[in-house]
Amino acid sequence: MNQILRNRMIARMDEVRGQVAERDELIEIIAIALLTCKNVFILGDTGQAKSAVINLFRAGITGARQFERLMSKQTDEEALFGRLDLSSLIPGGVPEEVLEQDQHYQQLRRELEAHLASNEPDRSKQIADLTAEMERYRKALSELHSGEPRIITKGKLPDSHIVFLDEIFKASDGILNALLTALNERYTNEGKTIPIPTISFFSASNEIPDFNNPEEKILKPLYDRFELKVVTEYVEDRAARLAILKQKQAARGAAQAPVSTVSLAELEAMQDEVLQVSVPDSINELMDDILCELREKGIHISDRKYFNYAPIVQAKAWLCGRDQVEPSDLNVLCAYLW
């Protein structure tokens, strides 16, 4: 185990823990979600720092493209998944995405910009030559890509590593299926099925839909896509409340840049290490005993959840500095079997 990597994640957790009160479970679950590519739903009353904890934690994940949206019935697919690039439909047009990713075209553009900004006496001819070459190259690209519908996804959900969709259950029925596919399979379908780089989706709400209500039953599959769930309460300890109150008054609303950070490359290395944590047969047998006990008590646990529990406890063991799962690590499954 790479202790340097582990220490960086622990430091990120500790920094967030120092900015809020009584949110240890939530902070740990966010870390586990990022380590295992799971999704997290947080249930709690308004003003319980649910969104704040998510935002504080993800602010320290550097190099990761992030997307945030407060969901409502008015939220449309363009706001989440991007808009149609009209230039991709125009005969002779070239999608902006193609131009941005083509290294030769971008090199020509940089050279043209340099000549435009210079005071060279013969720059007019150089500018004319570069412009003509760019036009020829652009026409060649249009032969390859013109008429192929493209969605501009830059800065949107399909382009992001970490996604926070607050109040996701308030989304309109029209985008539920797209979100279901994105959350479960990390794919979107915009004319063609494309993979997305999202590591984890996060959401928070002060209510759960009434799945017995036929109008809200459609939300059940979306709810199930959030494998990890946490309930928050108001801060109970007086000393903790006063400490956070004093901290906020001293800061006077000034946003603080994260001190302890985790880069995207480091997070990916951590994910690889988590997969190397061993799960002894005795742990699997104990987990099977737990499954049988829960089912006997009428608590529904699907086979899918049972067969996929291991990464959660592997991440817990890794955070504790161990390379093998122990029985105590199974306690973290309260947030998974919820």
Q: Give tens-digit pLDDT for 249-279.
A: 887 766 678 999 999 999 999 999 999 999 9
Amino acid at 108: L
- Check: CB of residue 262 under 8 Å from CB of residue 9: yes
CA dist., res. 212 & res. 232, Å (int): 24
SS3 164: strand
- Check: CB of residue 244 under 8 Å from CB of residue 20: yes
What confidence score (pLDDT) does residue 191 get? 58
Cβ burial, residue 42 (10 Å; 0-12/13-18/19+): buried
What confidence score (pLDDT) does residue 64 get? 96
Tokens 């382009």 belong to which residue?
159
CA nearest to 30, candidates 201, 220, 285, 260: 201
Structure tokens at 49: 């720092």
Q: Give tens-digit pLDDT for 166-224.
A: 999 888 877 887 888 888 777 776 556 778 899 999 999 998 888 888 888 888 888 99
What confidence score (pLDDT) does residue 192 get? 63
What confidence score (pLDDT) does residue 253 get? 61
Structure tokens at 336: 């998974």
Orientation angle between helical segments 103-117 and 123-145, nearest 10 degrees:
160
CA nearest to 53, candidates 90, 27, 14, 88: 27
Orientation angle between helical segments 24-36 and 50-58, nearest 10 degrees:
50
State the average pLDDT over residues 98-126: 84
Could you tell me the sign of the dihedral formed by the alpha carbons of 157, 158, 162, 163, in that order?
A: positive
User: HSE (CB half, 13 Å, CA atoms) of 228?
Assistant: 25
Structure tokens at 184: 């479960």
Rounded to 5°, the CA angle 43-262-165 comes to: 30
CA dist., res. 84 & res. 87, Å (int): 9
- Check: CB of residue 148 under 8 Å from CB of residue 115: no
State the average pLDDT over residues 51-66: 95
Structure tokens at 91: 């005969």
